[in-house]
Structure 1
């Protein structure tokens, strides 16, 4: 018997998965945090950051990515739990089909555009950069990996892809009590372990732990979201406030307690561990049914922008790259605005690809169900 509905009646997870507009609003907040950080690469905006209090905005890029990590774990877990409720099982091939059509085509288009610009002499970008990003290795310093600015941001996509490889085995074990196949589990764990073995200094091993902890916090939130809401029912506002203070605490404030550069870096690294609890609380409490913030985050235009945030995240890196760093402020914002409009148009095509992935996913799930039923029919004397 599947252990899938700890919060009560059958169907709660399905209803929760269908009401995710406010999550798309959080995607917009996350992408804005990344924008605020990367805009500092522009010479004029960077100089403005240095001489004003707005420079604190450059400290939140990684925070935005960590919010994305929790959202990813939450959404894929809700979808998978809904599949179990609807069908009584979970299909790993169906899961991979959905993820492939959602993630790979937009990335390949972006990488192909970079190669085209490199061949035209507009930017510096090598085939090694292309392969490193395409194989989702930019969160590691593994031999042969090279990720320059234009694909450096795919370190976050690498963590997500490594989590997605690991997720079906972990999900089947945690939700259905099914032990994973040792060889497949070992391969997924080896892929997920790459950033721990070949660690990038500015992510650090603590950063790797935070990334995976947030993914699996997303699973916990999906499975027990109603229980978490009840837990904080009487202290919702104070808990939300504390979580917001933790998540949006400027790094410079944390670093100020250190005596030297090494100690300041260590303080920041350990403080980020608090994100594992604070980000889930922040996002979940904002989604309370009566929350005004939920209504604000669910506004149609905002939610629509959030749904296209994956491509926006990819293409903003090009807009903030070295070739455009000398633009004036107005031109820089115009470029970014044009990129956002381009991504919104591109999302129409992505929706068709997502539909193809869902159709393939359904076929793979049905095929798996038929194969599982075949031995039972063969053993049934009445058949």
Structure 2
């Protein structure tokens, strides 16, 4: 069996997940005509999820590299497959049955786009409300496809520069494409000119989280006082809220980078009051089930036509079923699969030898 990567629960970040999913659900419960600012906060929640994904995935990869002297793409993708796909495929199966029965409206084009992970490039009219939120899952899956491979290709030592360079390329491309609509012209698809959720236009939101992971690494770990942490987190959150309240384009550099600033302020001061607030048991629990909540929320809120209390009860019931019956068992099976099938890896030529791991109060949680 390969060298193990020590991983411990980070309660603060589960609390941050909780805040993010609450923003998304609230934004889908309100009337967009009368509560536009709250609607915009849903996108803030998604950007926060992106920053968390970039940070946590990269930190996990760095821990593996330190422990084993290499990064196993096979192990990475096995973990991702068992972590991400079973809950989403179960949801798509339920949606397909409901649509075939005429109980909900959802086109097969929308389901196909979610199944093959291109919802964020599909035409808005084809997406359908019940599937529309899969645009963000598509972005994350695309990120999983390219980032670990690029980290290995360019080397862990240059990983931070690689992530920053990629973020810079995304920003440059976003400016150019906004000006000349190059992708829409290339594929003769005008819809692509207005699709701000495309991976190639929004990937910097994840890449800034990747950059932060290198500062979090034990050899480069930085810290802040509780006062500075609180000031940075609250200032960044206020600025991010203002950007969306003032109807500034979602693709601005600040809007994509500020979630990582918030995240950095939290992980750099584990004992700050704002971090302790995020560690309240209820928030931590909501954070742990946030993926299942996100998967199921658009079946019940937004365009469901149900009363909000009834919708939220239905959402909670389905999310809990997904978490305990689908999500957690599949994660455990994935771990058993790796433990049975992974032989002890040999360090690749020129790789660093494994270093002893020090226990930290803030390490990557097992459910990354």
Which TM-score band (shorter chain)? 0.7 to 0.9
Tell whether 2:14 aligns with 1:28. Answer: no
Q: Where does structure 2 lack aligned partners over 5 or more consecutive residues?
A: 160-172, 185-190, 350-368
Q: CA RMSD in A?
A: 3.3
* More helix per residue: 1
Summarize the Cα distance change of 1:24–1:211 in structure 2 as closer, same or farther, 3 Å threshold: farther
Ranked by relative contact order (alpha carbons within 8 Å, sequence separation 6 or more), the top structure is 2
Between the aligned partners of 1:371 and 1:235, the Cα distance in structure 2 is 41
| Matching residue of 1:264 | none
Give the alignment of 1:128-207 within 5 angstroms: 128-141=109-122, 146-176=126-156, 197=183, 200=192, 203-204=195-196
How many angstroms does 1:310 deviate by? 1.2
Higher mean alpha-carbon deviation, 288-297 vs 355-364, is at 355-364
How many angstroms does 1:18 deviate by? 2.1
Summarize the Cα distance change of 1:294–1:315 in structure 2 as closer, same or farther, 3 Å threshold: same
Between the aligned partners of 1:112 and 1:321, the Cα distance in structure 2 is 20
Higher mean alpha-carbon deviation, 235-244 vs 159-168, is at 235-244
When Rg is computed on C-alpha atoms for both structures, the one with the higher figure is 1
How many angstroms does 1:209 deviate by? 5.5
Summarize the Cα distance change of 1:145–1:354 in structure 2 as closer, same or farther, 3 Å threshold: farther
Q: Where does structure 1 lack aligned partners over 5 or more consecutive residues?
A: 1-10, 41-45, 180-192, 256-266, 374-383
Summarize the Cα distance change of 1:228–1:208 in structure 2 as closer, same or farther, 3 Å threshold: farther
Is the Cα contact below 8 Å between 2:48 and 2:259 reproduced in 1? yes
How many angstroms does 1:342 deviate by? 2.7
Between the aligned partners of 1:273 and 1:210, the Cα distance in structure 2 is 11
| Matching residue of 1:332 | 308
Between the aligned partners of 1:342 and 1:63, the Cα distance in structure 2 is 24
How many angstroms does 1:339 deviate by? 1.4
Give the number of equivalent residue pairs: 316
Could you tell me the TM-score, scaled by structure 2's length? 0.75
How many angstroms does 1:204 deviate by? 2.5
Match of 2:329 among 323, 348, 352: 352
Summarize the Cα distance change of 1:102–1:339 in structure 2 as closer, same or farther, 3 Å threshold: same
| Matching residue of 1:361 | 338
Is the Cα contact below 8 Å between 2:230 and 2:273 reproduced in 1? no
| Matching residue of 1:243 | 236
Give the alignment of 1:87-102 within 5 angstroms: 87-102=68-83
Between the aligned partners of 2:140 and 2:107, the Cα distance in structure 1 is 24
Higher mean alpha-carbon deviation, 226-235 vs 289-298, is at 226-235
Is the Cα contact below 8 Å between 2:59 and 2:213 reproduced in 1? yes
